[in-house]
Chain A
């Protein structure tokens, strides 16, 4: 892969300007086109890949250039004249390193000029020893720091005496006492270590590039500048005193010294993490922010590539709402950046709205499930097939992580951003978990639905999750039918409320996926480009949140599964997640209730008792991740279960939230709860919901060029939802 890129927006309207940011390697030029994505699955057994070029010249060929990805989170306090009068210095900080034996230097604080060797830096060296540097002088405590333990570190320089000193103090849990180690040495007096560089936290700078990122928590970072500075002197004159518990929900870091040396954070290090003084009696950072006065930095945090724009253009006035992509290409390669062209607020709307689940795309963005996780082969029941894109991701981990990965130190990934190239958010992409057959996942699987809508010449509009989050119900209210993607898993409160209100105000919802409405997310208040997810309590997850860290830093919301947040998917759409398995999918058997005249419109022209025993996603319509009706969890009394799947393999296992007491028989061949249910129910004001509860459904819609009973049932529901005024 030699072209990658991203845009500044997921969704925009006609005549709005879009910025395209591109990075290339080993090519001199590239071209760009705007294409409409009709069907992205390249499986030769599928309906055929289809994109339509839009008649607009985007300029180019463009000169290829390489843009660096600035991975790693850090803090920055801009240089200020008050720094330049510093003669003595004492830095104190609480550090909780989480990645030792890393073979990399990890900087805690730095204001150091590499070209002149003037300044100071406190860092952990490759041997996990703490070092302090003033200009060319260095002092080291040759004692390995303790992994995931708090250390109180002091480092300073006395200008008058010419002494450089360093100490660490930590609690030895084996011997139940505090260990103090200090070291001091004489160097030259009256050294001037002032420079014009910014003060950096958790990183340093080499040749204008941030480097040597620290992994772990930092807290109570202070700089004192008293005249008689030493280990023992009482230090009162504060130059800088950062209180990380202030403005904890933002990227601001606040100086409470009075010097107003406030700073900023970059690439979203984790906030709302437990601090040195945290005790288990505190759970919510909003009640006691002082217990959450730490910031957790990672060398592999990334929420903004900050690339320069290569070209920009206005979305043509005459193109209809839909999913398009900027296609960057040259003779060797191509890269697609999908965007959603949404209708203008006051424009005439189509009757059908497709909700593009961009928050779920972000959750899975650049996930490393197929290359980092050994068990993926086990859950897929077959050897993993990698391709050039997987190879690229393996060799370029600086593209940032997903909610399915862990940080290098094993901690959970809380934030995901669109401000980076997303390799698996492209048409033609082949995933890892998509089952035998097409093996498509998230965006490319959703193009099975788009292809179906296009095949049957339905006019539809498209919006993204971020639009629903921002505008809520009002963006949905003018549509007769709302169609989801195949796997709309990640929802914010605004999104849930918007769907609920739509459903209860006469809206008709077709949930054509599985594992939907599962995790609660928060959007960054400043930008919907960034989401946060903390996988609290239960649920299927790569790792769990740490004790006391279950509230979102961005909004303060309690996190975890929606079913644990009083808004279960069962309540919203009639079904909720029960199992996953990624080998083969199953079929549905119609229930007696499906012959009820109330739902006759759904089965018009269907004679089969077994439906969906075919498909591109695992060979069946019921599979991959499946949901079922459960009254206990809030499935409505009036919901009709139209069909249920059975005969899932033993690679289908119950979810952890249902597996309260581990007992044998939790696989698909034995457990009765492992099934997908198709349900229909009416809501207020003649609203209705049709839910299929299966990620694989879309793959069956696209089977046999859309001629099959799943496609027919979907068409019947859509037709009924568009035309039946009152369900009787």
Chain B
């Protein structure tokens, strides 16, 4: 888990939450201060656990070059 949660700041996955809605969008941190946060409004989650699971699988694939099949 430690390995999957670290890594460079550029394009690191975070969640973006609209203030009054219970919906989280996948977002990516930019490399430098002042650059725009990249929010992907096409990928959203209704709860945090779904988001964690989605990002976990994404990072697993990135690190192992294999899709996680459970």
Contact = CB atoms under 8 A, between A and B. Distances in A.
A386 B6 contact: no
A388 B17 CA distance: 8
B19 A388 contact: yes
Interface residues of B, number: 29
A121 B35 CA distance: 30
Contact of A391 (B7, B8, B16, B55): B16
B43 interface: no
A386 B13 contact: no
A383 interface: yes
A371 B6 contact: no
A44 to B, nearest CB: 10
Interface string B1-36: 110011111001111111100001001011001111
A378 B7 CA distance: 10
Q: Which of B13, B18, B19, B39 has the most CB of A within 10 A?
A: B19
Given A374-B8, A377-B5, A378-B6, A383 B48 contact: yes
B6 A384 contact: no
A382 B56 CA distance: 11
A377 B12 contact: yes
B26 to A, nearest CB: 9
Nearest to A389: B19
Contacts of B24: 385
Nearest to B14: A384
Contact of A395 (B2, B15, B36): B36
B68 interface: no
Contact of B6 (A374, A385, A408): A374
Contacts of A373: 9
Contacts of A388: 18-19
Given A378-B2, A385-B17, A386-B14, A395 B8 contact: no
A373 B1 CA distance: 17
Given A385-B24, A386-B17, A368 B33 contact: yes
Contacts of B29: 371, 394
Contacts of B5: 377-378, 381
A397 interface: yes
A370 B35 CA distance: 15
A15 interface: no
Contacts of A368: 33
Given A383-B48, A386-B27, A394 B15 contact: no
A391 B39 CA distance: 10
Interface in A386-439: 386-388, 390-391, 394-397, 408
A658 interface: no
B34 A387 contact: no
Given A395-B36, A395-B37, A387 B6 contact: no
A377 B2 CA distance: 9
Given A374-B6, A378-B2, A378-B6, A383 B15 contact: yes
B14 to A, nearest CB: 5
Nearest to A378: B5
Nearest to B15: A385
Given A374-B6, A375-B6, A386 B37 contact: yes
Contacts of A387: 16-19
Nearest to A44: B22
Nearest to B24: A385
Contacts of A381: 1, 5
Given A382-B52, A383-B55, A394-B30, A372 B9 contact: yes
Given A385-B17, A386-B37, A397-B34, A374 B12 contact: yes
A371 B12 CA distance: 10
B34 A386 contact: no
A397 B2 CA distance: 29
A383 B26 CA distance: 10
Nearest to B29: A371
A374 B7 contact: yes
A104 to B, nearest CB: 12
Interface in B37-60: 37, 39, 48, 51-52, 55
Given A371-B29, A383-B51, A387-B18, 20 more contacts: A370-B14, A371-B37, A372-B9, A374-B6, A374-B7, A374-B8, A375-B6, A378-B5, A381-B1, A382-B48, A383-B15, A383-B48, A385-B15, A385-B16, A386-B15, A386-B27, A394-B29, A394-B34, A394-B35, A397-B33
26 contacts: A370-B14, A373-B9, A374-B8, A375-B6, A378-B2, A378-B6, A381-B1, A382-B48, A383-B13, A384-B14, A385-B15, A385-B17, A385-B48, A386-B16, A386-B17, A386-B27, A387-B18, A388-B18, A390-B37, A391-B16, A391-B39, A394-B30, A394-B35, A395-B34, A395-B37, A397-B34
Interface of A: 368, 370-375, 377-378, 381-388, 390-391, 394-397, 408
Interface of B: 1-2, 5-9, 12-19, 24, 27, 29-30, 33-37, 39, 48, 51-52, 55
What are the 7 closest A-B residue pairs judged by CB atoms, nearest first?
A397-B33, A378-B5, A384-B14, A374-B9, A385-B15, A377-B5, A391-B37
